[in-house]
Amino acid sequence: MKSKQKSISKNKRHLVTIDQISKKTSDAPFGTQLKSKDYAESGIPVIQGRNIKENKFHWNNKKYTSKEKFDSLPRSHCSKGDLIFPKIGTIGNVCILPSIEGNEQCILSTNSMSCSINEKLADPNYIYYYFCQKKIHDYINSTSRGSTQPIFNYGMLKAFSIEIPSLEIQLKVSKILQELDSKIENLQNQNIILDQMAQTIFKSWFVDFDGVTEFEDSELGQIPKGWEIKKLIEEISVTYGFPFKSELFNSEKGIPIIRIRDLKNNFSDTLTTELCDKKFHIFPGDVLLGMDGEFNTSVWLGEESLLNQRVCKLFLKNKILSNLLILFLVKQRFKEYENKISGTTVIHLSKSDIEELKIIFPNDEVLKKFNKFSESLLEKLIKNKNSIFALAKTRDALLPKLMSGEIRV
């Protein structure tokens, strides 16, 4: 292609570079141009590589800089709709930059870069999905083998070659993939709302004690009259994770193995073929607790998996208890425990820490009311999560076939 303005013919695929199909590409500031002293409490958002996770933008670890600093670094400006790439560390990821707190103009940090696709030549969403392919992620990482830290630099991005069909076909492919992602996002938002609803009711009933008029003293402070302080082990039994052999871990066959890091996502791509007792199997609805670090406590919403060491599973002894109530009660108490020992470098839970934990348990009438509400909510959470997994599996299977032209649209 001799010119950026040359159109892509309808029936052919063309090899182009990112530079050729971009209106603009932007590189990170030089290290001396944007230092920690330039960060502010508010102002122009600073886009970091760490804001990109699993090809989505997450506005966490928020950093800002002044309008004056922004104006002084025009080579590092990025805008809503640009593709953002990490330059070091988590290379191979990509995201489309959204508007951030009303800002459509941002500045790149020293570890990120961007490109603004020329929509007359290519569809930005198509290019985004192209980089979402596992083979592209793996290829980018392979170019950095041997380096102390993975690097994907600005020159490599501009020269990166991709084969694209006509703009008409690109738009059709993007539409298919966007519709799947939109359905996934809708279900994820539903689960966020359901979880917030459950937490709001839990706080009202079991933390603020709304509507309660009579209280009595206890070792954990004042509690509603008729409620009890019990050790956790009186109401639940605990299964501690199995020490699976790491040499059998793989990504192709077996059953997913759940470690602490997997609790937040309800998913693991690490499998094992090792056999174990059925008690170490995890099923949707099980309450799991990570025993190191942040004590992640969650209700498992993923597929049948295996319980690894340093993760434990909580079983109800009392049938009128609900898994969601145990989740919230345990999470609340361990959060208090975590805050008390926050000075420790790495926090660990022992068997006695879990089993001797004291919990405020309500009377049977309140338990039955919460159980009735939470059962249907948990069923909906699990159903939505299963749909999310199915849609993501479909999208991931279609993605390389649509990109290669194997599936025609």
Q: For residue 100, give both structure tokens.
A: 């951030």
* Contact yes or no for 54/82 (Cβ under 8 A): no
Provide the residue type at 61 as one letter. N
| Least confident segment among 58-62, 65-69, 75-79, 144-148 | 144-148
Q: What was the pLDDT predicted at 4?
A: 47
Give the residue-averaged pLDDT of 380-405. 96
117-141 pLDDT tens trace: 999 999 999 999 999 999 999 999 9
pLDDT at 5 over 50: no
Provide the residue type at 305 as one letter. S
Provide the residue type at 397 as one letter. A
The torsion angle over the Cα atoms of residues 382, 387, 389 and 393, rounded to 10 degrees, is 160
* Contact yes or no for 124/23 (Cβ under 8 A): no
Give the residue-averaged pLDDT of 320-330. 93
Q: How far apart are CA 306 and CA 255, in angstroms?
A: 7
Which of the four CATH numbers 3.40.50.360, 3.90.220.20, 1.20.58.760, 3.40.50.300 does domain 194-365 have? 3.90.220.20
* Contact yes or no for 131/52 (Cβ under 8 A): no
* Contact yes or no for 169/409 (Cβ under 8 A): yes
pLDDT at 344 over 60: no
The CATH code for residues 14-164 is 3.90.220.20
What's the whole-model pTM score? 0.89
Q: Name the residue ranges covered by the structural domains of the chain.
A: 14-164, 194-365
Q: For residue 28, give both structure tokens.
A: 């990170």
Q: Is 252 helix (H, G, I), strand (E, B) or coil?
A: coil
Q: How far apart are CA 256 and CA 269, in angstroms?
A: 6
pLDDT at 29 over 90: yes
Q: For residue 308, give both structure tokens.
A: 């690894």
* Contact yes or no for 258/280 (Cβ under 8 A): no
Run of H or E including 187 = helix 167-202
Q: What was the pLDDT predicted at 293?
A: 75
Establish whether domains 14-164 and 194-365 are of one fold.
yes
- Work out the burial of residue 310: count CB atoms within 10 Å of its CB; fewer than 13 is exposed, 13-18 middle, 19 or more buried: middle
